[in-house]
Each structure stands twice: as structure tokens, then as C-alpha cells.
Amino acid sequence: MTTNGDAPLKVVPVRHIGRWISGGVALLVIAMIVHTIFSKLPTGQYACSGAKPNRLCHAKTEWRFSWDIIRHYFFTSEILHGVVLTLLLTVLAMAIGIVIGLVLAVMRLSPNRLLSATAWTYTWFFRGTPVYVQILLWYNISAIYPQLSLGVPFTSIAFWHVSAVTLFDPFRAALVALALNEGAYMSEIARAGIISVDEGQIEAASAIGLTRRQTLGLVVVPQAMRVIIPPTGNEIISMLKTSSLASAISVVETLGAATNIYSANYEVIPLLLTASLWYLFWTTVLSSGQFYVERYFARGSLRSPPPTPLQRLRHDAIGIAGKFRTTRGLEVAR
Amino acid sequence: MTAMVEARSVCKAYGGVEVLKGVNLTVERGEVTCLIGPSGSGKSTLLRCVNHLEKHDAGELRVDGELVGYEYRDGKLYELNDRQICAERSQIGMVFQRFNLFAHLTVLENITLGQVKVKGRSTDEARLKARELLARVGLDAKERSYPSQLSGGQQQRVAIARALAMEPKLMLFDEPTSALDPELVGEVLDVMKDLARTGMTMMVVTHEMNFAREVADTVYFLDAGVIEESGDPKVVLTQPQSERLKMFLSKVL
């Protein structure tokens, strides 16, 4: 409100020249990249029409990024089948990995030295060797353990046995390798989450008579989730792409399907791009999912949750509209 | 009738440092006992031993006639297992300096959790009890809030309601107002005074000398792990005998 009834004062915002220039440069670079992505290349061939002497010829062109070929293969059953396998590997390996990780984290924090040392050794081994090597090892496990059996340890008594070759077909070998490797990483993430929970929370839970297990399940883990979720989201996204290593042991997931096709028709780049676009698509889906899960587990720790992308977009739109409304300004008491 | 809390030469050391050096103390039923003393004197440790958040190393500690953390059978002391200790603790309410409300639960959920999971009440029953207690501490409008949305004083009152929901026979307060802004101390002390009036047995570690004088039946002054002086607060706090208590009172009053 103005004190003397005058019209509201106009506010002149600070001009950020540097921001405008750097913004312009960024825009230029983006425009150049987009232009090359959607540009065409001459093929070296010519297309002619009409008879001499009025014959018209022009150079033939094709998409630099072979968009037509990508579009053709994008939804073929072989690629789609591969995509399903990629998702299956990712979801199963992560699910098993998270369970292993939580168990290992609790073991690591156990007062029992043998348990914590076991968990430490597991993490040491599975983090210390490349996941690619682990996939190859599980695929060839029958060389060292030809037969797996269930029976009395250190005797020949067995109730059930299975040959390692049948048990570890390519898909299962890849799944086991990815899951066990993930377990090692998840255990560190879960451990960081658990130790981030304030000691006072555990004392308060004990004081009302909750058992150690109830305290862990009802008080510690739900609060640790806030710390565990963001890196776990990263792990899922990373797993989506790491699962492509399974193609090395002839699992026909997204990349495997793409290489199968291009080894027959030599359309290497379009098929690699097809695979890349599928990976990008699922990464986008997973990242947006991660945002909402994080928001859910942050309840109670933030006074107001961060805005969703839609809310932010609406807010930005209102802000930009406001910039163009020149009469809008703060009212200053004079 | 046995006393509610009975400590006989209770000792506790942390890595060679003796925090409690043979403490004797009795808390009668329905009494309010205040523990005062400089920081590091062992008063919080003593309180935490009473509900076995800390294990005492030597001496005898009884709550309601039962040994804390141990069982006496055939001339031996048997350590209690996790479940038995939890059963003991569920009958002793505790309020912490830093409130320690469960950050991921609403006010109502904070108060119902123990009732449902430890006492085995139905959710409806637990909610009814929680709302009754929230009304008693003057926070019935806040049941849907998360702890981070409340002031310190409000959080501490919820913490008191959470402890009371377990219907404890003894309430322990570990410096309940030390983390509060000065203007919020009163609202928490008022709730505690109300509670004392209902005949609740309370052990309060505090720096609020006025509260001790007004409410306590007995006050214990701890210094360097031993009880220096004890008795009626009106006597102990106004006519201190030992030099240490005189010095302590001159600093806090």
C-alpha cells in the first residue's frame, strides 16, 4: 500500500548481461547439435527424371542419423523382446540385490564380530572384481562346481542335486552375477542409511519397549530410506545399463538383440542408436519415478516438500508471464 | 510395600572412567524425585540405568521390587534377554532432552506405535487413548503434524504423551527442558506439574531449581558420581551443607 495514495511504483529488475550472453551461447550450441541430428547426408547417388535433353538430376540424400531405419527397427519383436529381458534383469537383480544389501548392512552393524567380518568380506570380494568378470565366472561356474547338491555338509549324503550347467543358463548366470554384485553396493548404501538415523530415535524406541527387531523395522529403516532412496535410484538406472553386459554370454537383451540384427545387416549405427534410445527412455521413466519416491520418504523431515516438475513448470510460467507485465511491481511505502 | 526405585551402591564406568561411584537412592511410590548436579556428575547416567538404556556394572538396582536387567535364581544373576528387558522398559516412561520423537511418523502415530506394537492394543483403542492424552497436554489440534512442524515445547509435550500412552508406573525425565527456548520451558513444566498432581512417580534430572523446590518431594544432589546431599528440597536448596552444593547453587540460582 502506498501511504499517499499514489500509483504503485515500478520496479526495475537488475539486468544480468553475463547470463544473457552465456545463455545465448548455450542456445547456439544446442541449435547446432539439434541441426546435425536432424540433417541429411548425400549418398553419392543421383536420382534423375525426364528424357534428354530436359533430363533433371539431383543428388540423393539420407538422414545422418538414419531415422527411417531406427523407426523401422524400434518396435520389431526382436528388439521389444530384448527390452523386456533388460527390464526383467534390472528388476530382479535389483530386488535380490536390495535384500542382500539390507541383510549385509544389518550384519555389518551387528555386535557379533563373525557376522560383521563375513559381511565385510562379501563386500570386499564383490566390489573388488569387475562385474563383467563375475558374469563370465557364473556362466562358467560348472568348471569348478559341476554339480550342486543339498544334503549334509562334509558327507556324501544328498537329498537333491542339480547340474550347474542346467541351473546356470545364460539368463540365470547373468541374473545371479548382477544381483550378487549389486548386493555388495547396496549393503554400503543401506549401512550409510542406517547409521544416519539419530541414536536418540533408537533410544526412544527402546524406551517404549520395542524389541531390537521392531526398532529396526518400524523406526530405523523407514528413516534410513530417506538416505537410501536417492543412491538406490542411481543404482537401478546404472543396473539398467550394466545389464547390457549380459549380452556377452549370449543373453538377448536390448543390446544383444541390436547386435544380433546388425551382425546380419551391417546397420551398426542405427541399431546401436535404437538400443540407446530404449535405454534413454527407461532411464527417463525411472528418474521421474525416483523423484516421487524420494518425495514420499522425505515426509516428516521437510517442512514443505519440494514442488513436483508440474508445479515448478506452472510456477515458472507464471513468473515469465509476470516479467512481460510491465506495470506489475512491488508497492513501496513512501 | 517396596519403594518404586531402589539403588544400592550402583556403579558405572565408561572405558575406565567411573561415572557412578556407588549411588544409593530410594524413590517412593507417588513421589517426585529431582536429580540435580553439574554436568558430568552422573545424574543422566543414573536415570538411564533405571530403564536399562545403560547397564550398571555393580550394585543393585530395583524397580518396583524387581532387579533391573537381571533375574536372581539359585544364587546366581541371570541377564535378561531382549524381550524381557523390553517388557521391563515398557512399564517405565522416558522423556529425553532432545525429545526424540519418531521423525517419520505423525504426532498421532508417535503416540500409537508403542501401544499397538508393545501393548497389543487395537489401532482404534490406541487412537482414542492418544487423543485423550493429546488433549491433556493441550495439543489435540496437532495430531496430523510431523514433529519437524512443531516447536520444541510442543514436541516435548508430545513426547510426554507418548510415554504416558504406555501407562507407565514410573516416569523418567532426562533434562526435559534443557533444549528449549526459555519462553517454551513453562508449558512443559506445567504438564509435568499436572502429572505430579495425579500421583505419578517421577524421577527428573533437571536444572530448573524452581521446579525442584515447588514440585519435588526429595532432591538428590550428585557430584562426580556420588550423592553429596539429599532430602527435602526446601531444606537442601536453601540450607546447603556441603561446599560443592553451595558452589553449584550459587551458579544456577
> How does the average pLDDT of chain A come out, rounded?
89
Are the CB atoms for B158 and B137 separated by under 8 Å?
Answer: yes
CA distances (Å), origin B130, targets B101, B168, B169: 14, 14, 18
Judge whether residue A219 has pLDDT over 50: yes
Judge whether residue A1 has pLDDT over 60: no
Inter-chain CB proximity B87 and A209 less than 8 Å: yes
Amino acid A36 reads: T
Q: d(Cα A87, Cα A239) in Å, to the nearest integer?
A: 10
Q: Is B173 on the interface with A (CB under 8 A)?
A: no
Measured in angstroms, the CA of B225 and the nearest CA of chain A are apart by: 23
Residue A143 makes CB contacts below 8 A (sequence gap 6+) with: none
Mapping DSSP onto H, E and C, the string for A158-215 reads EEEEEEHHHHCCHHHHHHHHHHHHHHHHHHHHHHHHHHHCCHHHHHHHHHCCCCHHHH
Residue A130, preceding peptide bond in cis (omega within 30° of 0):
no
Q: Using pLDDT thresholds of 50, 70 and 90, give the confidence band for residue A60.
A: confident
- The pLDDT tens digits of the residues spanning A133-165 come to 999 999 999 899 888 888 888 888 888 888 888
Q: Number of A to B CB contacts under 8 A, please give it.
A: 81
What residues of A are in contact with residue B171 (Cβ under 8 Å)?
Answer: none
Query: Which DSSP string do the residues of A8-54 spell out, in sequence order?
Result: PPPP-PPP-HHHHHHHHHHHHHHHHHHHHHT-EEEEEEEEEES-TTS
Residue B111 makes CB contacts below 8 A (sequence gap 6+) with: B126, B129, B130, B133, B134, B158, B161, B162, B165
Q: Is B55 on the interface with A (CB under 8 A)?
A: no
Q: Is A144 on the interface with B (CB under 8 A)?
A: no
Burial class (CB in 10 A: 0-12, 13-18, 19+), B253: exposed
Residue A304 CA, distance from chain mean position: 27
Inter-chain CB proximity A299 and B117 less than 8 Å: no
Q: What is the pLDDT of residue A323?
A: 62
Q: What are phi and psi of B230, to 5 degrees?
A: -155, 165
Q: What is the pLDDT of residue B132?
A: 96
- Listed as own residue / partner, the contacts of B16-25 with beta carbons closer than 8 Å and 24 or more positions apart are B18/B225, B19/B45, B19/B225, B20/B45, B20/B46, B20/B49, B20/B56, B20/B225, B21/B224, B21/B225, B21/B226, B22/B59, B22/B226, B23/B59, B23/B222, B23/B225, B23/B226, B23/B227, B24/B227, B25/B220, B25/B227, B25/B230
Mean pLDDT of A64-88: 94
CA distances (Å), origin A265, targets A130, A236, A268, A270, A271: 32, 32, 8, 11, 10
Are the CB atoms for A308 and A316 separated by under 8 Å?
Answer: no
Q: d(Cα A41, Cα B96) in Å, to the nearest integer?
A: 73
Residue A149 makes CB contacts below 8 A (sequence gap 6+) with: A158, A159, A160, A161, A162
Q: Is A220 on the interface with B (CB under 8 A)?
A: no
Q: What is the pLDDT of residue A8?
A: 81
Radius of gyration of chain B (CA): 18
**Site of grid cell 502415530:** B109
What letter does residue A217 receive in the DSSP assignment? I
Q: Is B148 on the interface with A (CB under 8 A)?
A: yes
pTM of full prediction above 0.80? no
CA dihedral A252, A255, A261, A262 (to 10 degrees): -150
What letter does residue B217 receive in the DSSP assignment? S
- The pLDDT tens digits of the residues spanning A164-213 come to 888 899 999 999 999 999 999 999 999 999 999 999 999 999 999 999 99
Q: Is A60 on the interface with B (CB under 8 A)?
A: no
Amino acid B93 reads: G
- Count, residues in chain B: 253
What percentage of chain A exceeds 90 in pLDDT?
62
Judge whether residue A328 has pLDDT over 60: no
What is the pLDDT tens value at each position of chain B, 253 positions in all? 789 999 999 999 998 899 999 999 999 999 999 999 998 899 999 999 999 999 999 999 999 999 999 998 888 989 999 899 999 999 999 999 999 999 999 999 999 999 999 999 999 999 999 999 999 999 999 999 999 999 999 999 999 999 999 999 999 999 999 999 999 999 999 999 999 999 999 999 999 999 999 999 999 999 999 999 999 999 999 999 999 999 999 988 7
Judge whether residue A330 has pLDDT over 70: no
Q: Which residue of A has its CA nearest to B47?
A: A207
Among B52, B57, B122, B111, residue whose Cα is nearest residue B84: B52
Q: What is the pLDDT of residue A314?
A: 83
Radius of gyration of chain A (CA): 29
Q: d(Cα A57, Cα B16) in Å, to the nearest integer?
A: 97
Q: Is B118 on the interface with A (CB under 8 A)?
A: yes
Mapping DSSP onto H, E and C, the string for A95-108 reads HHHHHHHHHHHHHH
Inter-chain CB proximity A204 and B90 less than 8 Å: no
**Site of grid cell 508471464:** A321
Q: Using pLDDT thresholds of 50, 70 and 90, give the confidence band for residue A300.
A: low
Q: Is B101 on the interface with A (CB under 8 A)?
A: yes
- The pLDDT tens digits of the residues spanning A271-291 come to 999 999 999 999 999 998 888
Which cell is A154 given?
562334509
- The pLDDT tens digits of the residues spanning A235-244 come to 999 999 999 9
Q: Is B19 on the interface with A (CB under 8 A)?
A: no
Q: Which residue of B has its CA nearest to A219?
A: B102
Q: d(Cα A237, Cα A232) in Å, to the nearest integer?
A: 9
Q: Is A214 on the interface with B (CB under 8 A)?
A: yes
What residues of B are in contact with residue A295 (Cβ under 8 Å)?
Answer: none
Mean pLDDT of A43-63: 84
Comparison of pLDDT for A6 and A130, the residue scoring more: A130
Pick from B102, B106, B158 the residue to mutate for testing the A interface (most A CBs within 10 Å): B102
Q: d(Cα B179, Cα A132) in Å, to the nearest integer?
A: 53
Q: What are phi and psi of B106, to 5 degrees?
A: -70, 170
Q: d(Cα A254, Cα A278) in Å, to the nearest integer?
A: 8
What residues of A are in contact with residue B103 (Cβ under 8 Å)?
Answer: 198, 201, 223, 300-301
Secondary structure (3-state) at B197: helix
